[in-house]
Amino acid sequence: MKFTKFGKALLLSALSLGVLGVTSCVQSYTVGYLYVTGTVTAQGSGNGIISGFSIDHQTGQLKIISGLPISSGGANPVRAILLQASRFLYVLNRGVTASGSADCTSADPCLNSNITQFAVSGNGILTPQATFLSKGINPFRMIADSGGNYIYVLDHDSPSNGSNPDCGVALGNNLKTCGDITVFQVNPTTGRLSDVANSQLTLPYFPVPANPVDFMLTSTNLLTLTGPAPTSYPYTGGASVFPYTVASSGQLTVNSPQPLGINQGTAILSAGQLIYVLDNEPIKVNGAVAANSQILPYSLGTNGALTPGGAVPDDPTQENPIYAIVASGKNWLYVANQGNNNTSSGNTESGITGYVIDSKNQLSQMQNLLPFGTGSGPQCLVEDPSNQFIYTANFNDSTVTGQSIDQNSGALRPLLKGSSFAVTGPATWCLVSGRSG
């Protein structure tokens, strides 16, 4: 078949539009993957595993990646992150005590905790690469900076906890008990981690106040939510925020702590333009309990100072909020609530509460909508790379729950072909990847 110059131009134009259309549809990736960490069984000594699914961006359905699940490289994985354009995945394994329990404490700490690095192939398969050790005791949180240059690990207890003078020196008090943050630099080629020492105090870690609950990172600050009293894992009781200023070298500089006026903070995170603290304590209005928990938004100021934006009650039917995200490019905030998260109590109701963020960054619950359903005991909340679906990984019933996002209202709807997907053993964390090859 022959084409005129004009015909060739039309053909090239059509081909160009077709290619551009496909690129726009998948937003610069060809496939999305969802990874879920968990344990083989609910027993404290349960070996850690990583399950993986490819995401159908037309329906939101999940398909198991061939070759998965695989070992997470340790026991009781609790966090995972993807770096370097999703070429490397890192899993934080808490380990177990000498007796084989996952209830690690300062007196009976976790053993064999580690960070295991995996290479991620173009088809989503994971291959273990190397193992790295945090400097503290009982690590339980892990995050990375936006450029993928540094990884930060929150250790519930610093080395030599209970007899450590470095705590008081670093934090400006006489205490000898504290938590700490271990900092690693990431090699952009190999993904290997190298230690970043505390140059100010000549320590291998950066102290934080005792009883840390959670932490988060912005481009300028690292904020740790801490509590006045010890609690068992998963740690709660957050009441204050301890801020560090973050340097481009990964170094952390201490700033003044800030009390929040709460007693049961469960999480601190950055979503959209604000910092959110989730608080699991009854909220009273005119003497009556109006909600079992609340969401506290803050704007971030100089040296990590937080300015409150007005607390908002959680839905009255929900409790124990543990994570939140803002939909990409939208003004919708979603909060995952675990409920009781205790299978023996018979009360395991869980759900996702949706909020609209107005032009002044104020929150209002989505009107006339009940909390959106999820599996029992959600541990995380993620949006797929095409920004059409939201997933939770659920501890109590060992599932992943998927829902579609109504692009007009923000409401979450069950997937048309089924919303629940089984994983091997209780789930502990989830994350998504958009790969272009």
Question: Do the beta carbons of residue 362 and residue 328 sit within 8 Å?
Answer: no
Picking from 330, 160, 351, 138, the residue whose alpha carbon sits closest to that of residue 231 is: 138
CA angle 253, 257, 263 (to 5 degrees): 140
Give 346's Cβ-side CA count (13 Å radius).
0
Burial of 42 (0-12, 13-18, 19+ CB in 10 A): middle
Picking from 398, 394, 381, 396, the residue whose alpha carbon sits closest to that of residue 432 is: 381
Q: How far is CA 69 from CA 34, 43, 197, 309, in A?
A: 12, 18, 35, 42
More confident residue, 346 or 187: 187
pLDDT confidence of residue 410: 95
Question: Do the beta carbons of residue 417 and residue 26 sit within 8 Å?
Answer: no
Strands, E assignment, 96-228: 114-120, 126-132, 137-144, 150-157, 179-186, 193-196, 206-208, 212-217, 221-226
Whole-number percent of the chain with pLDDT over 90: 73
What is the rounded CA–CA span in Å between residue 276 and residue 335? 10
Peptide bond into 282 cis (omega under 30): no
Sorting pLDDT into bands at 50, 70 and 90, what band is 29? low
pLDDT beyond 80 at 289: yes
The count of other CB atoms within 10 Å of the CB of residue 98 is: 9
Across the chain, what does the average pLDDT equal? Answer: 88
Q: pLDDT per residue over 100-136, tens digit each?
A: 877 888 888 999 999 999 999 989 999 999 999 999 9
pTM tops 0.85? yes
pLDDT beyond 90 at 6: no
What is the rounded CA–CA span in Å between residue 198 and residue 205? 6
pLDDT confidence of residue 8: 41
Q: pLDDT per residue over 53-74, tens digit each?
A: 999 999 999 999 999 999 999 9
Sorting pLDDT into bands at 50, 70 and 90, what band is 390? very high
Q: How far is CA 237 from CA 129, 199, 254, 261, 274, in A?
A: 37, 31, 22, 12, 22
Q: What is the DSSP letter of 198?
A: B
pLDDT confidence of residue 39: 93
